Amino acid sequence: MKGVLLVNLGSPDSTNPKDVKKYLDEFLMDPRVIDVPFWFRSFLVRGIILNTRPKKSAEAYQRIWWEEGSPLIVISERLQKKIQKKTTIPVALAMRYG
């Protein structure tokens, strides 16, 4: 079976600091994102970043967030639908984080 898979990084579920914190944890704890030993990545992300960045990052997301949701997700879904209309093969969308 053939198909098209559109893949992107992902986005928090909302601009709520709790959702942003969850997203940052999932994203930043990936060893391919921060390539250091687990113990140090855990200390850096969960000990420092997640205690300081979620509120500031949530405020930044609020400035760009659309009524429909995350711009990245909304635009990606629109692209998926447009491509799907042009072909008979399945077109799917996947986000790595969030």
* pLDDT tens per residue, range 54-87: 999 999 999 999 999 999 999 999 999 999 999 9
- Where do the domains of the chain lie? 4-97
Q: CA distances (Å), 21 to each of 26, 43, 90, in order?
A: 9, 15, 33
Query: Rounded to an integer, what distance in angstroms lies between the CA atom of residue 66 and that of residue 98?
Result: 17
pLDDT value of position 1 = 84
Q: Give 6-41 pLDDT, tens digit per residue.
A: 999 999 999 999 999 999 999 999 999 999 999 999
CB 11 within 8 A of CB 70: yes
| pLDDT on residue 16 | 98
